[in-house]
Structure 1
Amino acid sequence: MSPSFRALLLAVSFVPAAIAQVTVTNDPDLAVDAGTLETLDFSDAPAPLSLHRPGGIHYACKCLPGESCWPSAQKWNALNTTVNGRLRIHIPPGASCHNSFNGPFGTVNAYDPVKCAEATQNWSNEQWHVEQPGASLWTYFTNDTCRPTTDPNEPCTLGYYGVYVIMANKKQHVKAGIDFARRNNIRLIVRNTGHDFIGRSTGYGALIINMHAFQDITWMNSYTGPGFYHGGAVKIGAGVQANTILAQGHAKNPPRVVVTGECPTVGISGGFIQGGGHGPWTTLKGFSADNVLSFEAITASGQYVTANQYQNPDLFYALKGGGPASFAVILSTTMKTFTDLPSAGATLYINTTHTFDPNVIWNGTAIFHKWSNHFVDNGLYAYFEILPFTFRVRPWVAIGKTKAQLESILQPMLSELDAAGVPYDFESKAFPTFYDLYIDLFEPEAAGDSALTGGWMFNHHDVATNNDGIIEALKTAAAPRSDLFGIIIGHLFNPGYGAPHSNSATHPAWRNATDFVITVLPVPVGSSLAQKADLQNVLTNVMDEALRSASTSGCTYVNEADPYQPNWQSAFWGSEYPKLRALRFKWDPLGVFYAVSTPGTEKWEVIDYGTRLCRRL
């Protein structure tokens, strides 16, 4: 270990009393007026680093380690004191399998056989990644430079991970991180669970605020306002995951639920709800964002605010689907709750146990998809996958319906499969509650893969008039080139069924949705920049272009789609975008927060081979 790096490690691990703390200007409880803010003060922010590039391009950039504008060890030490010693130098989770970690401040002896065995065993385990300080569950946007290995001599660098992590467990810690990033022109990453497909939980040279320790949950039998809603509600800390809130709700009498994501490890507050948030209850109750009653948050200027229908209503609107890491850091979310209901579920499989003929499998897929309007118009949700030689639906979800009612809805599709001679396995079940269905029929998802992600939404009109065209587009996405294969993950839901009038910032086209499809293109670890550029081109201009061409919706989902697609502003938000862009410049005019392809980021770029975050001037 180099002497300078050892000194820095000591500085952030053992804080001498003689070093002054960074002063938090608000009182210890951050008791800022929760009413509408008249002004947002950014006067303490320095001028950004100015850079010129060939071709006369002029940038204003965030500071990086090694530059004169990078904060001194004393400043980082003071930040550590302010956050009660919870600042960490970030070392990638796979570093323990490598002899050395070559970080931005020097080289560290990293090998630890016990921790390496743990990392290797858990690399595909989502919850293990969630519990790491700064890990991203899908690793492409980390640059895959430090994965578990059986060869400790393999190089290990920081890749595109952040440099420091605040393991925040108080709102004062969050404020301190925001203030430090703003005052020192440092890239800021807000990480909830790291359940992120498109790189918004990582960033080279960044300070990460880890929100996972915010686990408070407060259940309310009757919400007291403000507003006209007085039903059941729950206040959810920023770090609470779907499995936790659903389990707690199930223990209530009667059992309660909230609109969560399909995956149990997804955090509810934060990026999920800032993107809209869809899941098995969405057909019946709308997006998660449609069910929010209030937020507690900290703004880019470091002010603690409440945002609801009457207090900071423009921020309230923007946080409900207006884009992750864009307007403020959410500390807690208060949401409507609903009585859990008896439910029914079903599964369908067509794979190599039935046939090796891909035409038969695609014929079955087409018949299934032909009936997708029928499914959502009867209040169902469905999760399906298209893999090489495999089509599977696991599961259909029929909340508040009996097994017989679900079978009756599905019977026309099953009859058509039989008439076409498509072999399949089908099973349906009854459950006392949705939660029991959720535990039984939804499968754990894997982490640690390197892939690019895209996707598109098909509406009712698309399915009714162009189902054959949709299937041809799915075939293209599944086999975009002779040397490549894609994976397709589909979700049948319609927020407009149960919430026909949006009260969130989500794209208006969602109110006539039928099928949201995620496309996945695996990326080999160790791919060159040229190979990555080629695969990105395939995703954007072959796979997703086929989906866009087969659809009239003009819409996709901000949390699970290609951020580099053309016209992302319209695709993610439609007519809501101009308002969101204006609100971004009100609440965060300096770009303290940044996530790719979110409102107001048109001039922001990550240049210098994915390392330097800059705004083009």
Structure 2
Amino acid sequence: MRASIASFLSSALLLTQQVAAAPTNTSITNETTVEDIGGGASARTLGGASIFEWTYKRWNGANYACKCAPGDLCWPNQLQWKLLNATVGGNLQVSIPPAASCYNTFQGLLGNISTYDAAKCAEAQANFPSEQWQIELPTAGLWTYFTNDTCRPTTNPTDSCTGGYFPTLYIKAKTIAHIQAGVLFAKNQNLRLVIRNTGHDFLGRSVGWGALVINTHGFKDISLTNSYRGACDYTGSAITVGAGVQAFEALKKLNSLSPPKIMVTGECATVGVAGGLVQGGGHGPLTNFYGFLADTALEFKVVTADGVLRTANAKVNPDLFWALKGGGPSAFGVIVQATYKTFNDYFSSGTTFALGPANVNGNETLWWDAIAKFHSYSNQFVDNGLYVYYEIYPGMTFRVQPVVGVNKTAAQLEAILQPLFDDWTAMGITFDKATTTYPTFYDLYNALFEIEAAGNSALTGGWTFGKTDVANNNAGIIDSFKNVLNNGAFLVGHMWNGGHGLPQSEWANSAINPRFRNVSDKLITILPLAGNAPLAEKEAAQRVLTDIVDGGLRAAGPNGAAYINEADPFQPNWQTAFWGTNYPKLLQIRQKWDPSGVFYSVSTPGTEKWEQIEYGTRLCKKL
């Protein structure tokens, strides 16, 4: 797969490809050099402006001004790309999909390249479901729907491998200066910019047709302190992490202390803890105790849209600090470093159980009655400090793994669950359960939370239920669950309350939707669908997800909200669903820090006029 960018551009197809054709994907190879990747015109100098600054399009009866893409007159010329590559230390590279090595030819926006490599193809086939393998790749999307499902592993190398919705080029940033250079280049050249750390994302934010990616995964520094000294009154223990640090790395470092410490993270160990997670809020098994990850943030180092590295904390740039804490991923800047509170780790207990057809003698009505009884205890579970992770699939599959009781013995945890178990027994339901106590929460986390898989393709939605919804309409909620399964989707539930253990005086210190302080259950809905399905099928599936699957949840939970990292970005009134009464303030802050729209992430503050037109390719602003 050794080739120069010059060879990509030698093809006349580079400047003549039609955007409306099947979208194309890109990923990178460390052997690619940057030469000759310019466009067909040099109408604008770096930082200047001209009539070629935008590509103007008409689509579905509306006029748009679009970011520059390969083939446009405003696409940077050869010299500009070479200068950028020199500025970032030779770390600008062309992107090729993870499994392109299984195909004879990769057909990208920058031309064609011969890619078949039997050994690398075997590696891709073996590792494609591995999250960590995909995370280490510079532009891979862990869930493939928003890549157009292009170039999946194949045994037929003559199959077509196109770029899909993958980015075109990326900077594998090694220093903060590299990030700054990438942000300024994207701003001055009016390019679509994607910030990518782990690619751990359901909504396609880590990929984007024709985009330049800044990959921050290499920032792995971790430092710890027992006595934080910063811009706030907090003086306890803290951890400072680089943008590329993942949950399992931070938790391992904290566990090595004596006594061990812990921090709020997501339930998935491979998620990065200093980027999209905190900017979306960051819920996890410790949310009942300490709130969201965003609630524990003490300070950020962030590159803003003007390319300046800034400090954001309670006293320096406090508006930016507030917005970065749950105000939307890739919306206000590139976080390069984050500092969070840490906490003492405690012994913890975990329980697992499941119900299938055999537990109810094949009686589906009884199975649903059992789930209804389980869900009716949501408020009691979170009020007692429990975290509950569960799944509901077609085929009468209901799994709970785990129920987490931090600082609780097995007996204490089971005492909280016993009323549910008594009710099930009285209903004639048989079931097995297992409860184990671990020396620390860290040990429980590693033992009971299962490793997630990459390579799945699906539309993702979701909703939360307020405590009043559960108390007043549990039957309606269960009907909405049935509706999800009846329409081909399935459910992943997380019972927690974002205000339970956090003092109410601190609730407004982050941009998180205030409704999350009064919820007891957060659902993810997953509707499997191939990313390369026919357009009509995609449109129909999106309508089912938005209007029927999630529509039923919204109707059953009028006091709920949506979580930006795990929800349908195309739902109605997304501004209120994601941020509630905080949205007007977030919009003002976005207009202050990024008035020209350098950063983009679907359905985040200030993106109302932005669309991906021409079948999900060009990123444009409606005129």
* 1:69 partnered with 2:74: yes
Asked if the contact 2:261/2:342 (under 8 Å) is kept, the reply is yes
Q: What amino acid is the match of 2:69?
A: L
SS in 2 for 1:411: helix
TM-score, scaled to structure 2? 0.92
State the distance in 1 between where 2:611 and 2:264 align: 34
Give the % identical residues. 52
Asked if the contact 2:5/2:33 (under 8 Å) is kept, the reply is no
Q: Cα 1:55–1:363, aligned 2, differ >3 Å: closer, same or farther?
A: closer
Asked if the contact 2:149/2:164 (under 8 Å) is kept, the reply is yes
State the distance in 2 between where 1:554 and 1:141 align: 27
**Residue 378 of structure 2: which of 364, 372, 379 is its match?**
372
Question: Is there any run of 5+ residues in structure 1 with no aligned partner, and where?
Answer: 20-41
Tell me the equivalent position of 2:499: 496
Asked if the contact 1:15/1:81 (under 8 Å) is kept, the reply is no
State the distance in 2 between where 1:59 and 1:430 align: 59
Q: What amino acid is the match of 2:419?
A: P
State the distance in 2 between where 1:529 and 1:409 align: 49
* 1:461 partnered with 2:468: yes
Asked if the contact 1:11/1:77 (under 8 Å) is kept, the reply is no
Q: Cα 1:6–1:551, aligned 2, differ >3 Å: closer, same or farther?
A: closer
Asked if the contact 1:160/1:203 (under 8 Å) is kept, the reply is yes
Tell me the equivalent position of 2:234: 229
Tell me the equivalent position of 2:273: 268
State the distance in 2 between where 1:339 and 1:54 align: 56
1:423 CA drift (Å)? 2.1
Tell me the equivalent position of 1:586: 592
SS in 2 for 1:348: strand
1:454-503 CA deviation, whole Å, 9 max, x = no partner? 000001101111111100001101121xxxx2110000000110113411
Tell me the equivalent position of 1:570: 576
Tell me the equivalent position of 2:539: 533
Q: What amino acid is the match of 2:496?
A: F
1:367-406 CA deviation, whole Å, 9 max, x = no partner? 1101110000000101000012210110001111111110
Tell me the equivalent position of 2:564: 558
SS in 2 for 1:609: helix
State the distance in 1 between where 2:30 and 2:445 align: 47
Tell me the equivalent position of 1:38: none
* 1:258 partnered with 2:259: no
State the distance in 1 between where 2:49 and 2:583 align: 27
**Residue 7 of structure 2: which of 5, 8, 17 is its match?**
5
State the distance in 2 between where 1:498 and 1:563 align: 29
State the distance in 1 between where 2:397 and 2:5 align: 56
**Residue 601 of structure 1: which of 589, 600, 607 is its match?**
607
Tell me the equivalent position of 1:470: 477
State the distance in 2 between where 1:54 and 1:346 align: 54
Tell me the equivalent position of 1:215: 220
Asked if the contact 1:12/1:80 (under 8 Å) is kept, the reply is no
1:56-111 CA deviation, whole Å, 9 max, x = no partner? 63322100101111011221121111111111100010101111101112111111
State the distance in 2 between where 1:2 and 1:430 align: 56
State the distance in 1 between where 2:535 and 2:8 align: 33
Asked if the contact 2:496/2:520 (under 8 Å) is kept, the reply is yes
Asked if the contact 2:381/2:387 (under 8 Å) is kept, the reply is yes
Question: Is there any run of 5+ residues in structure 2 with no aligned partner, and where?
Answer: 11-27, 39-45
* 1:449 partnered with 2:452: no
State the distance in 1 between where 2:428 and 2:324 align: 49
* 1:158 partnered with 2:182: no
TM-score, scaled to structure 1? 0.93
1:5 CA drift (Å)? 2.7
Tell me the equivalent position of 1:615: 621
State the distance in 2 between where 1:269 and 1:294 align: 11
1:35-434 equivalences under 5 Å are: 48-53=53-58, 57-354=62-359, 355-388=361-394, 389-434=396-441
Tell me the equivalent position of 2:13: none
SS in 2 for 1:608: helix
SS in 2 for 1:107: strand
State the distance in 2 between where 1:526 and 1:107 align: 20
State the distance in 2 between where 1:308 and 1:3 align: 42
Q: Cα 1:133–1:613, aligned 2, differ >3 Å: closer, same or farther?
A: same
* 1:440 partnered with 2:442: no
1:55 CA drift (Å)? 6.9
Decide which moves more: 4-13 or 293-302.
4-13
Asked if the contact 2:355/2:398 (under 8 Å) is kept, the reply is yes
Asked if the contact 2:144/2:531 (under 8 Å) is kept, the reply is no
Q: Cα 1:459–1:140, aligned 2, differ >3 Å: closer, same or farther?
A: same
1:326 CA drift (Å)? 0.3
State the distance in 1 between where 2:377 and 2:425 align: 15
Q: What amino acid is the match of 1:463?
A: V
State the distance in 1 between where 2:380 and 2:301 align: 39
Query: What is the CA RMSD across the aligned residues, in angstroms?
Result: 2.0
Asked if the contact 1:13/1:85 (under 8 Å) is kept, the reply is no
Asked if the contact 1:164/1:206 (under 8 Å) is kept, the reply is yes
1:107-138 CA deviation, whole Å, 9 max, x = no partner? 11111111111111111111111011100110
Q: Cα 1:316–1:92, aligned 2, differ >3 Å: closer, same or farther?
A: same
Asked if the contact 1:293/1:334 (under 8 Å) is kept, the reply is yes
Q: What amino acid is the match of 1:89?
A: V
Asked if the contact 1:186/1:207 (under 8 Å) is kept, the reply is yes
Asked if the contact 2:9/2:111 (under 8 Å) is kept, the reply is no
1:165 CA drift (Å)? 1.1
1:11 CA drift (Å)? 13
SS in 2 for 1:277: coil
Q: What amino acid is the match of 1:561?
A: A
State the distance in 2 between where 1:351 and 1:76 align: 58
Tell me the equivalent position of 1:37: none
State the distance in 1 between where 2:191 and 2:47 align: 16
State the distance in 1 between where 2:146 and 2:97 align: 13
Asked if the contact 2:149/2:530 (under 8 Å) is kept, the reply is no
